[in-house]
Amino acid sequence: MEKDVRKAMEELIEKLNEASKAYYADAEEIMTNYEYDSLYDRLEALERETGIILAGSPTQRVGYEVVSELPKETHPSRMLSLDKTKSREELRDWLGDKEGLLSWKLDGLTVVLTYEGGALTKAVTRGNGEVGEVITANAKTFVNLPVRISYRGALVLRGEAVITYDEFERINEEIPDADAKYKNPRNLCSGSVRQLDSSITAARHVRFYAFTLVRAEGVEFARRREQMEWLSSQGFETVMWKAVNGETVIGAVEDFERAVETNPVPSDGLVLTFDDIVYGQSLGTTAKAPRDSIAFKWADQTAETVLREIEWSASRTGLINPVAIFDPVELEGTTVTRASVHNVSIMEDLALGIGDRITVYKANMIIPQIAENLTKSGSAEPPESCPVCGEKTRIKDDNGVKTLWCENPSCLAKQIKRFTLFVSRDAMNIEGLSEATIEKLIGKGLVKEPADILKIEDHRDAIVEMEGFGEKSFANLVSSVEKAKNTTPERLLYALGIPGIGVANAKTIASACGRKWAKMTALTKEELMEIEGIGDILADGYVKFFADPAKAAEVRDVEELVNLDETEEEKEDFFSGLTFVITGSLNFYPNRDALKAEIEKAGGKVSGSVSSKTSYLINNDVTSTSGKNKKARELGVPVIDENTVREWLENKKVTL
């Protein structure tokens, strides 16, 4: 299948599924029925033309499946592992005067697929090479896998299920517990592919890349490259490969090596296979490996250095992990100064001590690790107190693996969410402070209360040495903090994290108090309950917060560092009774929230979707054929641009 046809099908599937989700899950129309039907018909036509239906196609409407366990199945023949080499010259000698295919050795989960009559009928994991698990329902959710193909014979192929680095980072960002985050894409992929609920697999956006055609009934091939090209014609994405010979294979390895950092999917080496299928099969196998293929692993670049410190990093679960800090070394083109030791057992196995000479490397050219301790002084000891709160630590032994823990429930390391809220966009709006960065700052003892974030410039030397930071990042962070110090009473109130006080309640309370901070912090329960939207429970929690001596002290520390704009907002009502919907990009206002705030200040309301209750749709592209514009025209809702609504706000009246 041609790449542009495949891309067109993938784009149509994405648009149609997005529209369905918006309509059924979010009660919002992002395109008209006419537009949806037109795109649907176009997708159906391409599927008929190619004979290929990709996973996730709305033309199939295949429901998700939940099972109590994954069935086991024995493979027809044992799936062998590959012999390996780290020598480019040995790879060249192995190929000799033959031609071969050099491809990525992807780092995911190997899956065997079976198609009959053009339909995917079975998918089985590699398992232990002899017995795998049946994951057919899950495989049907792989985002780029065809569930129907034009070939109607019996087909068996193998490939790698993988999760891209981008998807790996997206999923980890949604996991609040740092220690629950996945360690690498391979682990995430393995767990995703083997889910009992296929809807979970679908949400992980697993991809499949074919690397071997096992059998295609009635179709004969002389060369591996022909097989790969044929699989592509059937709608499968194959691993990236290059045809090589003895003279070009080393250069091709170097090409792949340069592409490692930009490769969107994880790999742990390369695979070289004889192109001549009959010749490769004639070589047979050893007890463990086929003789027609060999794996190439990049030799880990190691460097010798001196261990200067073991930093103990506390997490929100109470787990305290050791991190080795050493003299800077160059590895795989980057400067490395630290490596995770993971737990107490590994630290003891390496017999680490300050001043020891160690060798370090990057696992799979990415993750810094300690390879060996050359001097093994063994003098390092786990700390007896938590580096964050100072409370006593305890070593747990779980099946021979020792880990260090802080059991203080009030430890700041366990309160990351409170600090994350403080810096969030609707609160103090401090850019450059992710949850992971805040956790590092707390772990280093640099942040103990919210006010410390506003004094971040005092810790320049420590922060610029942190992984992922530098002079420029620190300067940007300081600039963001200084800007955030000029804030409003409602933002500060929300930033404090008082239970039940969200953005809307914070604005309501500030407005009721004339935006005077002193009055806001001194409200009684009775006064609070007179404010619309504040009930008994919220009022109790609010009063209790400011009555707590420790919380009150933290609030005072913040007050000393901020400049509050307590100017009471002029209340207007010239937009009273009007409901607006904002879509598209804006030119004057920095974002939709800013325009929304101005509309609400004038007494209007802002909704997320166009309906019969919408008064005006705001879109700078008034002639757009987007779903919201079409819906507005169908309902007779006027479409206005940003300048129009700005004029109304400035003139304090609607002139249409």
For strands 616-618 and 579-582, give the pairing: parallel
- CA-CA distance, 123 to 146, in Å (whole number)? 13
| Cα-based distances in Å from 411 to 386, 485, 546 | 9, 27, 21
Full strand arrangement of the beta sheet holding 100-106: 84-85, 293-296, 267-274, 100-106, 241-244
Cβ(653)–Cβ(574) below 8 Å: yes
Task: Report the Cα–Cα distance between both ends of the chain, in Å, rounded.
Answer: 53
The Cα–Cα gap between 653 and 647 comes to 8
Q: Is 628 a catalytic residue?
A: no
- Which tokens go with 39? 């795109």
Per-residue burial over 302-332, b = 16 or more CB atoms within 10 Å of its CB, e = otherwise: ebebebeebebbbbbebbbbbbbebeebebb
By CB atoms closer than 10 A (0-12, 13-18, 19+), residue 575 is buried
For β-strands 605-607 and 579-582, DSSP reports them as: parallel
Half-sphere exposure of 238 (CA within 13 A, CB side): 24
Q: Which two tokens stand for residue 303?
A: 């460097």
What are the two backbone dihedrals, phi and then psi, of residue 33, each rounded to the nearest 5 degrees?
A: -60, -40
Output DSSP code: residue 453.
H
Kindly give, in sequence order, each residue whose CB lies less than 8 Å from that of residue 253, ignoring residues fewer than 6 positions away. Answer: 88, 91, 102, 270, 296
Q: Which of 15, 105, 628, 630 is labelled catalytic? A: 105
Which residues are marked as active site? 105
